[in-house]
Amino acid sequence: MSAEHAEQNHRIRIALLSITAGICILGLKYVAYVLSGSVALKSDAIESIVNVVAAVFALGAVIFAGKPADREHPYGHGKIEHFSAVFEGGLISLAAVFILLEAAKGLIYGVDLKDLGKGLLVNLLAGALNGLLGWFLLTQGRKTRSKALEADGHHILSDFWTTIGIAAGLLAVKLTGIKWFDPVMAMIVGLLLARTGFRLVKESSQALLDMEDPEVLGKVLAAMNAVRTWDIIAIHELRTFRSGRYTHVDVHIVVPEFYPVRQAHDLCESFGVKALKEGAIEGEVHTHVDPCGRLYCDRCPAVECAIRQVPKSAGAAFVLEEAIAEGPA
């Protein structure tokens, strides 16, 4: 089994674990609501329904994203993971609407609290499990470069902090006897969820529109600086975009103008492969070869060059502003 296939199987196992754990946590939160009659705990249970649905969608996204590129999808299927994150953000926003409606009803008609102590204990247990699951999904999503798993982890961690906030609010209800604290806490949960949903939709929509990711761009540039050789004189028109965990890089590379076509081609192809390996980046580099045209003599690291016109006087390291800019005509 190849390393890539093994990693894909690992992503699928993580997604299945997320679904199983999500169902168990949902059950615990529902029990907490039944025991207490709390609107805030009901809102927490509603969010867990979203967690389970989102985890199922994330599993589908992970499986689909693992399919190799084909004729109809030459850049692979990785962007489905960003669709998964947008879908999850939409579900979170929908859950926020339901929670706000429940909170409004609680404020208008009042709430009938039952055994708040037992409900709180059960919900805290569910919250602790959520915290562990969210941390695990987030770290594994980053490790396996899965946007769907990472988004799921962010969402579940936000659910964990929501549970902590609800527990604090309901503890205040228990100590003071002021019942309207309960729907107010539910309303705060709804507003926080709406914010999380909006953030997920915004970030993933930017990825779907191939918006440049400064972090990825910086990582690629650092790797190129680390593996460059003296005859990689300059780079320009550097572009990157993400398709799930896969990174596509386009770059123009300046080489000595006296290099034969085959030598220049092989140099640039090798440079791209080494840069990906150096940066631990899963993806591909498309290169365009440009002859130096004796325009870079002041920064060219080739000490002995028969066609040099001026001595080297500037630093040779690639800098971001020049790397992303257009090259000389």
Query: Of 208, 229, 256, which residue is a domain's last?
Result: 208
Phi, psi at 234, each rounded to 5° = -160, 165
d(CA 157, CA 150): 11
Reported confidence tier of residue 213, pLDDT bands at 50, 70, 90: confident
DSSP-derived 3-state class of residue 34: helix
Query: Does 272 reside within a domain?
Result: yes
Share of the chain above pLDDT 70, in %: 86
Query: Does 274 reside within a domain?
Result: yes
Q: In the 3-class helix/strand/coil scheme, how is 186-207 assigned residue by residue?
A: HHHHHHHHHHHHHHHHHHHHHH
Residues 203 and 220 in one domain: no
Task: Summarize pLDDT for 172-210 with one digit per residue, the tens.
Answer: 777 777 777 777 777 787 787 788 778 777 777 766 666
Q: What is the CATH number of the domain that holds 316?
A: 3.30.70.1350
Residues 178 and 285 in one domain: no
Contact of 254 with 291, CB cutoff 8 Å: yes
Q: Is 127 exposed, middle or buried (0-12, 13-18, 19+ CB in 10 A)?
A: buried
In this prediction, residues 98-116 reach a mean pLDDT of: 74
Task: Summarize pLDDT for 44-68 with one digit per residue, the tens.
Answer: 787 778 778 877 877 777 777 667 6
Task: Summarize pLDDT for 241-290 with one digit per residue, the tens.
Answer: 877 667 889 999 999 888 899 999 999 999 999 999 998 888 889 999 99
Query: Of 145, 179, 208, which residue is a domain's last?
Result: 208
Residues 123 and 235 in one domain: no
Residues 226 and 188 in one domain: no
Q: What is the CATH number of the domain that holds 154?
A: 1.20.1510.10
Containing structural domain, residue 280: 214-324
Query: Does 196 reside within a domain?
Result: yes
CA separation, residue 246 to residues 26, 80, 81, 119 (Å): 33, 12, 11, 44
Residues 18 and 138 in one domain: yes
Residue scoring higher pLDDT (96 or 261): 261
Which of 123, 154, 94 lies closest to 34 in space, CA to CA?
Answer: 123
pLDDT at 74: 65
Share of the chain above pLDDT 90, in %: 12
Residues 229 and 181 in one domain: no
CA separation, residue 22 to residues 18, 122, 126, 192, 221 (Å): 6, 15, 10, 20, 39
- Its pTM stands at 0.57
Residues 172 and 286 in one domain: no
Task: Summarize pLDDT for 10-38 with one digit per residue, the tens.
Answer: 778 888 888 888 888 888 888 888 888 87
Residues 159 and 220 in one domain: no
Query: Does 265 reside within a domain?
Result: yes
How many domains does the chain fold into?
2
Residues 160 and 221 in one domain: no
pLDDT at 112: 67
pLDDT at 265: 94
pLDDT at 288: 93
Residues 224 and 185 in one domain: no
Query: Does 329 reside within a domain?
Result: no
Task: Summarize pLDDT for 147-175 with one digit per residue, the tens.
Answer: 667 777 777 777 787 777 777 777 777 77
pLDDT at 140: 81
Residues 200 and 66 in one domain: yes
DSSP-derived 3-state class of residue 306: coil
Residue scoring higher pLDDT (146 or 132): 132
Residues 222 and 166 in one domain: no
State yes or no: pLDDT of 329 exceeds 60: no
Query: Does 16 reside within a domain?
Result: yes
Q: Which two tokens stand for residue 29?
A: 């939160």
Query: Of 157, 176, 208, which residue is a domain's last?
Result: 208
